[in-house]
Amino acid sequence: MTTFAELNLAPDILAAIRDVGYEQPSPIQEQTIPLLLEGRDVMGQAQTGSGKTAAFGLPLLQYVDPSENEVQALVLTPTRELCIQVTQALRAYGARKGVDVVAVFGGAPIRSQQAQLRAGGQVVVGTVGRVKDLISRHSLMLHAARFVVLDEADEMLDLGFLEDVEKILALTPGSRQTALFSATMPGEIRRLAEQYLLDPVTVKVKNPTLTVDTVEQFGLEAKGPEKVEALVKILESERPEQAIVFVRTKIRCEQLFRTLRDKGMDVRALHGDMTQGARDGVMISFKSGRLPVLVATDVAARGLDISGVTHVINYDVPTSPDVYVHRIGRTGRVGRSGRAITMYESRQKRDMEAIERHTGVAMAPWAPGAHVAALPVTPKPRRHSKPHVPADGDGRVVKLIAAGGRAEGIEPRDVIQAITAATGLDGEAVRNVRVLERFAFLEVPEAELDRVLEHANGADVRGHELRLELARG
């Protein structure tokens, strides 16, 4: 088996790796690090938790000269939470070398971030919006940024940031080395890579969290009124070290959190309606291991990469098999086992079958003390299953047109938030949002079309009434 020492990493980087306790490289690290050290552009497809931060972070830090107080490397992230997580990792990897890593993100005072940039900062990790803002204020100069990373590029696409990403890339040197990482590779991401990466090498690593050796998968049928008590029974029986309970909507998240809290459980909520300070407090408590149970929506849980999560409980059935994969990927990290329990009603059995076909694993019925070996799924006809958007982005989607655009001050994230709030869909279901002057285009899964048209029409978007219809032609 390959060791980090065989990947041509410098002694100070190897020492930092030993400091953080890494013993052997993960598959994405083993394949990517040598390519980046050779100066190649890389397009990596890997899930959260595969070790991609070290895959791009270690070569990046090896390039950086700590004696030069210029921004030599830029890492763009879609969310504040991921920005903080990547920054913490890079600071640990670069500690022995003395590299200064600066995090810039929205929801924090911009003046303090400007001061940090003036004081130095060879590596900047930032969210797209705040990076663009700092550039416009002439506080962030990218003329010396010879290494650029786009992390979780598909989430940038889903949140409507791709146009801003292209503007930022246009301000970096043409001779830069670029790495793009994405869990999925829809057409827009491939087009971005073709335009901004030079002869990239594609590295594709299967998500290790889906191996049957690391995650035991269970299903539990429960009627609506019985779900809370069933969840309490699961938590009392399983006694998780740390568990994430996933729900579909922000309202449901808050209600379930309060119900569990009133039953005396040590639990917190994480959803988009919370203030950023409150979200940060919850994230810190959960990442430190002090908080055993977190009730969260899918969008709010983006960027949660915590090795100590032993259980994922789907209180609500995921909206698609892809979302299920993302959820259970929060447990069963490399070297640890995990358990995923999905609660469903009888009318949702077809959704469960679609998930089983997608993962290739049959869920065993959950009961206290239950254990299971993964059972292969016999393929069944898909015509009755709920359509989903597969990882390659070629799933059945429909394009919609929305009245209102930049002239009304509407941004892509406003459209996504309005639709998810009105329908209960996850943010990942609203894709390829493009806002023009007077209208906007977006895509949703074909299976969710009726739901979107019924519930999202008339929703408020910055004081403007959302009007959706099928885009013709």
Instruction: Quick: pLDDT tens for 17-27.
Output: 888 777 788 88
Locate all alpha helices (DSSP H) within 274-375, ordered by sequence. 276-287, 321-328, 349-359
The percent of residues above 70 in pLDDT, for the chain, comes to: 88
CATH architecture of the region 397-470? 2-Layer Sandwich (3.30)
Contact in structure between 397 and 444 (CB atoms under 8 Å):
yes
The domain defined by 211-366 folds into: Rossmann fold (3.40.50)
C-alpha closest to that of 388 among 323, 327, 320, 451: 320
pLDDT in tens, 46-91: 766 668 899 999 999 999 999 998 999 999 998 887 898 899 889 9
Q: Which CATH number fits domain 4-206: 3.40.50.300, 3.20.20.210, 3.30.450.20, 1.10.287.110?
A: 3.40.50.300
Whether the CA torsion 372, 310, 46, 366 is positive or negative: it is: positive
Decide if 4-206 and 211-366 have a common fold: yes
- Centre a 10 Å sphere on the Cβ of residue 18 and count the other Cβ atoms it contains: 11
Q: What's the pLDDT band for 387 if we cut at 50, 70, 90?
A: very low
Band of the pLDDT at 397, cuts 50, 70, 90? confident
| Sequence-ordered list of residues with C-beta below 8 angstroms from that of 318, at least 6 positions apart, any chain | 246, 298, 324, 327, 342, 355, 426
Domain boundaries, the chain: 4-206, 211-366, 397-470
What pLDDT score does 131 carry? 96
Average pLDDT, the chain: 84
Q: What's the pTM?
A: 0.53
Q: What's the mean pLDDT in 396-416?
A: 82
Whole-angstrom distance, CA of residue 131 vs CA of residue 161:
12
Q: Please tell me the distance from the alpha carbon of residue 150 to that of residue 158, in angstroms, as a whole number.
A: 14
Give the whole-angstrom CA distance, residue 46 versus residue 184.
Answer: 8
As a whole number, mean pLDDT of residues 197-224 equals: 77
Query: CA 205, CA 207: separation in Å to the nearest integer?
Result: 6
Q: Flag the least confident range among 329-338, 358-367, 421-430.
A: 329-338
Is pLDDT above 90 for 443?
A: no
Which residue has 């993302």 as its token pair?
Answer: 326
pLDDT at 388: 33
pLDDT tens digits along 301-357: 665 666 678 899 999 998 777 678 778 877 776 556 789 999 999 888 888 888 887
The CB-side HSE value for 146 (13 A sphere, CA atoms) comes to 15
Measured N-to-C along each axis, helices 80-93 and 52-63 cross at an angle, to the nearest 10 degrees, of: 50
215-221 and 338-344 strand pairing? parallel
Average pLDDT, integer, range 99-113: 91
